[in-house]
A and B are shown apart, each in its own frame.
Chain A
Amino acid sequence: MTSLTTAGSPTLEPRRGLGRSLQRLTYSDAFWAGLFLIPTAIGLIVFMLGPILAAFGISLVKWNIVDAPQWKGLGNYQTLLHDRLFWKSVWNTARYMALAIPLEMALSLALATALNQGLRLQSFFRTLYFTPGVCSVVAMALVWRQIFDFKMGMLNGFLKLFDVAPVPWLMTTATAMPAVVLMSVWQGVGYPTILWLAALQAVPQVYYDAAVVDGAGRWAKFRYVTWPLITPTAFFMLVLDIIASFQVFQQTFVLTGGGPRQSTYTLVLYIYEKAFRNFLWGEASATAYVLFAIMLGLTYVQFRMQRRWVHYEIA
């Protein structure tokens, strides 16, 4: 920028009445960057870094709405490790992941592959698949609660066509989580479908032609051409999906309230009830930190593992 001011353009003559140093200051990038970043800097300190530190501090004390904070050291973390409900919610989160991620990935890949056959109305279907994703989870969970209803629910009505006996979906510990997963996949499948479709469309046709010359069948083409080239998309989705799985809250809050017998009780629900029902700020913060640690750990493992199966060498 300073080089521009000496370029000799008439508009850049020093303005009269302004001190040179002031002018240099108002021309400097650092000055403007300071102004532009005021909101972000405040946000970063007040709503991010500050709370992150504060949460760690709070996780070390016993604190509720009535009494003053009391030092506990790692006591809250110990309490957590001995809490059956905490482990239950970790386990439920793992169950949710094990069911939802493969199902959502497979379904979205199937839909994207089908759409990629050059079908008519491709963008119409793509839009339709995404539509549930923009709707309020609460509103749609209220609908699904009816669909899953034992006596008058549509799902059991549909299954009856295949002579399947009615299933009390939201009322047994074995079926409640699959029901939650089904609804989540219904809402979440559009996003990966769009990503898969974009990835599939980016695979150069010459690769397929070469594979055909080499005698590849349909499966071989998918396995050795398509799949390696879409692994970066798969990896991205896996990372996002695992993070999102830890955040599951609204569906279980409305569909099951965490039940029956806490079989759909998730970590976020655990934190929410600890903090805002029981007002145990310390234990809730400790849980949030454990959640944070698990997420970081899993993401780290994924980045370490990606070398084994993700191919980035797309031209």
Chain B
Amino acid sequence: MGATSLTKRARRPRRPAGWFIRRVAAYAVVIFGAAFMLVPFLYMISTSLKTSIEAVKYPPTWIPRPILWRNYVDIWSALPLAQVSFNSAKISILATLGVVFSCSLAAFAFSQLHFRGRDLLFMVVLATLMVPAQVTLIPTFLLFRELGWVNTHAPLIVPAWFGGAFGIFLIRQFFLTVPQELADAAKVDGCNPFRIYWQIFVPLAKPVLATLAIFTFFNSWNDLLGPLIYLRDLKLMTFPVALTSLSGRYAVNLPLLMATSVVSIVPTLVLFLAVQKYFVQGIVLSGIKA
């Protein structure tokens, strides 16, 4: 920021013409990018408000005539949408809580406690980042099948409660920046490590915990492969897998399919817009320290 204002001050009097052209070019690029990002959303919303006849008209119309708000009512009876929403919310929230809880505990141990083999164990955890999920997919599936958990939500929730390399790494990076004096003072006052974790580190780490929570929530909400493998009944399905299984059936009724898609992305959009500051910080944090 400071750097750019410096450029402006230095340039403006000397080369106003060049500066102006550069500005216009920059805005052109940025606005082109914005249009590219927005058009599919506009198309989706527009189609979701059309009649099924208008939806397949060529050339496509931007503003539907008539605007069929009713589509958003109809989808709730056309498919078990309330159930699907509930499933998605339940799985994502429980998985997110699990990841934040288990990763922050481990991150505290890896950053604040001293024990033999700590760095080795941490390296092992980090190394698992390199393992593609497809390698563990089949044994994990067979394990859950043995447990009789196929066609339940458990396989999509339970593993989240047992840590994860990315989350541990992200939180540990933050915990390492907490001044040592804070923990020492608490120790002198007789706090045990759990209280130090719970009453000092967790409150301090709220931004980074929020970042991890959002990442996890989005991943869980948008995951297709897990639900595709584990869930059979439409009653149990989450949005992505319900959408794929309905997309064949609803190919005829495009507006309803689009309306359902809109409903499925609204929670992530709202959440993202509400917390985007944390989110951007988290991305920069996770990107810079790698």
Interface centre among B128, B192, B254, B287 (most CB of A within 10 A): B287
**Complex contacts, A289 vs chain B, CB 8 Å:** 135
Interchain CA distance A43-B37 in the complex, whole Å: 38
- The tally of residues in A whose CB lies under 8 Å from a CB in B reads 102
- The answer to whether B29 touches A110 (Cβ under 8 A) is yes
Closest to A209 in B: B10
- The answer to whether B280 touches A194 (Cβ under 8 A) is yes
Q: Is B57 an interface residue (CB 8 A)?
A: yes
**Complex contacts, B120 vs chain A, CB 8 Å:** none
Interface residue tally of chain B, by bracket? Answer: 35 or more
Closest to B88 in A: A136
Give B164-220 interface residues, CB cut-off 8 Å to A: 164, 168, 184, 187-190, 192-194, 197, 218
**Complex contacts, B224 vs chain A, CB 8 Å:** 137-138, 249-250, 253
**Complex contacts, A253 vs chain B, CB 8 Å:** 224, 244
- B22, B128, B241, B276: the one contacting A48 at CB < 8 Å is B128
- The answer to whether B163 touches A44 (Cβ under 8 A) is yes
**Complex contacts, B10 vs chain A, CB 8 Å:** 209
Stretch of A28-36, A72-80, A88-96, A172-180 that contacts chain B: A28-36
**Complex contacts, A284 vs chain B, CB 8 Å:** 138
**Complex contacts, A246 vs chain B, CB 8 Å:** 132
Known contacts A40-B162, A117-B4: A134-B188 contact under CB 8 Å: no
**Complex contacts, B265 vs chain A, CB 8 Å:** 135-136, 139-140
- A7, A47, A116: the one contacting B4 at CB < 8 Å is A116
- The answer to whether A55 touches B139 (Cβ under 8 A) is yes
- The answer to whether B272 touches A131 (Cβ under 8 A) is yes
- The answer to whether B269 touches A118 (Cβ under 8 A) is no
Closest to A108 in B: B33
Q: Is B72 an interface residue (CB 8 A)?
A: no
Interchain CA distance A55-B135 in the complex, whole Å: 6
**Complex contacts, A291 vs chain B, CB 8 Å:** 132, 134-135
Q: Is B80 an interface residue (CB 8 A)?
A: no
Known contacts A4-B187, A32-B109, A147-B43: A43-B163 contact under CB 8 Å: yes
Q: Is B56 an interface residue (CB 8 A)?
A: yes
- The answer to whether A40 touches B8 (Cβ under 8 A) is no
Contact with B along A190-209 (1 / 0, CB 8 A): 01001100100101110011
Known contacts A33-B113, A51-B136, A291-B134: A147-B102 contact under CB 8 Å: no
Q: Is A17 an interface residue (CB 8 A)?
A: no
Interchain CA distance A251-B136 in the complex, whole Å: 22
Interface centre among B1, B30, B244, B280 (most CB of A within 10 A): B30
**Complex contacts, B137 vs chain A, CB 8 Å:** 271, 275, 288
- The answer to whether B130 touches A296 (Cβ under 8 A) is yes
- B221, B258, B284: the one contacting A194 at CB < 8 Å is B284
- Which residues of B come within 8 Å of A, CB atoms? 1-8, 10, 22-23, 25-27, 29-30, 33-34, 36-41, 43-44, 47, 56-60, 101-103, 105-106, 108-109, 113-116, 118, 121, 124-125, 128, 130-143, 159, 161-164, 168, 184, 187-190, 192-194, 197, 218, 221-222, 224-225, 228-229, 239-241, 243-244, 247, 254, 257-258, 261-262, 264-265, 268-269, 271-273, 276, 279-280, 283-284, 287-288, 290
14 of the cross-chain contacts (CB-CB < 8 Å) are A36-B109, A46-B162, A111-B33, A113-B26, A115-B26, A117-B4, A128-B37, A138-B243, A139-B264, A209-B10, A246-B132, A249-B224, A276-B228, A299-B130
- Which residues of A come within 8 Å of B, CB atoms? 1, 4, 7, 9, 11-12, 26, 29-30, 32-37, 39-40, 42-44, 46-48, 50-52, 54-55, 58, 107, 110-111, 113-119, 123, 125-132, 134-140, 142-144, 146-147, 151-152, 154, 157, 186, 189, 191, 194-195, 198, 201, 203-205, 208-209, 233, 236, 243, 246-247, 249-250, 253-254, 267-268, 271-272, 275-276, 281, 284-285, 287-289, 291-292, 295-296, 299
Q: In the complex, given contacts A44-B125, A194-B284, what are 20 additional A-B residue pairs having Cβ atoms less than 8 angstroms apart?
A: A7-B188, A33-B109, A36-B193, A37-B109, A43-B159, A48-B131, A51-B143, A58-B139, A114-B25, A114-B30, A117-B23, A118-B4, A123-B280, A135-B265, A138-B241, A142-B258, A157-B59, A198-B284, A247-B133, A250-B224
Listed from nearest, the 8 A-B pairs whose CB atoms lie closest are A43-B162, A40-B163, A118-B4, A51-B139, A54-B139, A51-B136, A36-B109, A139-B261
